[in-house]
Amino acid sequence: MFKKLREGMPSGFGDKLRTLMIGINTQGQQQEEAGQIRKLGLQIAGMARKPGELVAAIKGMGDTQAFHDAETSTWLSPEAIAAGESGPFEACSLLAWLEIAKKAGVPAIPAKVILRLTDAESEAVSGIARIPTGAIPDRIRSRMRQGIEQDREAFDALLTAEPEDQQAPVDMEELVEKVYACMDDLPEGWMVRSNQTGPSTLKALACTGLVEETAPEARFGPGLEVGPGWVRNGNRRRVDTGDRRIMQGYVQGPHTGLIYVARPWVQASRYVEGRDPHREGTPIDVPGQWPAEWRAFVKGRRVVGVSSYYCWLETPTPQTAHIACQVRDLAQRIVDTAVAQGLEPRYMDVEHGRRNPETAQMLEDQGFGRGTFSCTLDFMETAQGIVLLEGGPGNTPLGGGHPCGFAGVSGQPRLANPMDTTGVAFRHMPHVLIGEPKTWVEGDKDGCILDWDAVEALAKEDGAC
């Protein structure tokens, strides 16, 4: 199927490319973690310049966490949604969107829950609590100590405050076995992710453009292989519980335990071919094939736009216009079903923003007020038709869903986000590089982004329509 694409590639190039991308991803996570630790240290040191500031800052973080917990405690679980309850739910919850899609009669790639971890368990096996001793420079640690001494009485009060309910100690031997055992009966060729998001390894492997019939993996030696969301040590696999992207996604939602799910690796029925512009001029500037995937943008209970996901390769044709219309209609069915049940997706970055009256008004003015229904919904073309991949937050002024091919199309020039996601973005504008937000400026949309009238007219030329 993919022989033509790989002709001319050196022997073993695909394996080397996958290994390289996973290695870059791992190194990037480590550098990002170290940078975040240093940044936090600098922030704390800055707060310690005056008596009282450091303690006030810590109390402020406590207030933020209290708001987070109060807000997310109102969000419905996937089980409550399945039971027909009404209310807000987590915009990034895969299991919630799958329940809604099932009610709407929209096909979706299934997900099987394989592992549930408490907060204490996920912290114990992720490594996020183990800060390297050399991550914070001595001068910063010295200033932090000075801040503590200046506010000793207040610090003592914080330390002697009523402790939160303590969870039972974690049995590491039992926990490690749990992380391995959940993979023992899982078929080969499946991918693993959390309820909130896919792992960074999945993104890294997808970026290669090397399509496989089963989940791709990278070999780092005779006893170590890495796949999307899992690691094979020797002859046994375990869930990759240290993935930073998964942990960052979990922080956004309710802290009621981290859920890992497994999904079959479904082949797309159509692929788009070409070169990734982000690799131009590099040793890995080789042709690739990416699955035909689409993102629907929902704002104010209505699907306003659709974009190709790998938006540097798609072109407007009668066939792709017809598919974009199908994606719009399937997404609208999901939205209509959710609205009829009284459901509303929420995202914590946005909810934190609403605490500021000016920001809340700005969100209201741009159609993202409380009570509106905004989200993104991702689909893939398969032999069984167009199926739902996952759902996520809307493309808001405070972040959320990536604008894909609409990058640079802005109705609000003073904002990098949201983009004007109206119509269909078959591909991004020629001057835009998706990985370089500084290129996200207005330009020539001709042949790239069409309004719905033009898309529907083009779709009518498709014989299958």
CB 181 within 8 Å of CB 174? no
In this prediction, residues 405-416 reach a mean pLDDT of 69
Token digits for 362?
Answer: 């700005």
Per-residue model confidence (pLDDT) at position 53: 61
Higher pLDDT, 63 or 83: 83
Q: Which residues contact 64 (CB under 8 A, 6 or more apart)?
A: 352
Q: How many CA atoms lie within 13 A of 19 on its CB side?
A: 10
Per-residue model confidence (pLDDT) at position 23: 47
Question: In terms of pTM, does the model score above 0.85?
Answer: no
Phi, psi of 236 (to 5 degrees): -135, 140
CB 309 within 8 Å of CB 338? no
User: Could you tell me which of 312, 276, 310 has the C-alpha nearest to residue 291?
Assistant: 310
Q: Which residues contact 313 (CB under 8 A, 6 or more apart)?
A: 272, 273, 274, 290, 427
Summarised one tens digit per residue, pLDDT across range 140-163 is 455 555 555 555 555 555 445 555
> What is the pLDDT confidence band of residue 2, given thresholds at 50, 70 and 90?
very low
Summarised one tens digit per residue, pLDDT across range 126-138 is 754 344 444 445 5
Per-residue model confidence (pLDDT) at position 250: 85
Phi-psi region for residue 308, left (φ > 0), alpha (ψ -120 to 50) or beta? beta
Per-residue model confidence (pLDDT) at position 217: 58
What rounded mean pLDDT belongs to the chain?
Answer: 79
Token digits for 370?
Answer: 């409380």
Token digits for 353?
Answer: 């923003």
Phi, psi of 78 (to 5 degrees): -55, -35
Summarised one tens digit per residue, pLDDT across range 280-307 is 666 666 677 888 999 999 999 999 999 9
Summarised one tens digit per residue, pLDDT across range 360-383 is 998 998 889 888 899 999 999 999
> What is the pLDDT confidence band of residue 124, given thresholds at 50, 70 and 90?
confident
Per-residue model confidence (pLDDT) at position 290: 85
CB 22 within 8 Å of CB 204? yes
Cis bond upstream, residue 418 (ω within 30): yes
Per-residue model confidence (pLDDT) at position 37: 41
User: Could you tell me which of 261, 275, 263 has the C-alpha nearest to residue 207?
Assistant: 275
What is the distance between the alpha carbons of residues 139 and 73, in angstroms, rounded to a whole number?
A: 40
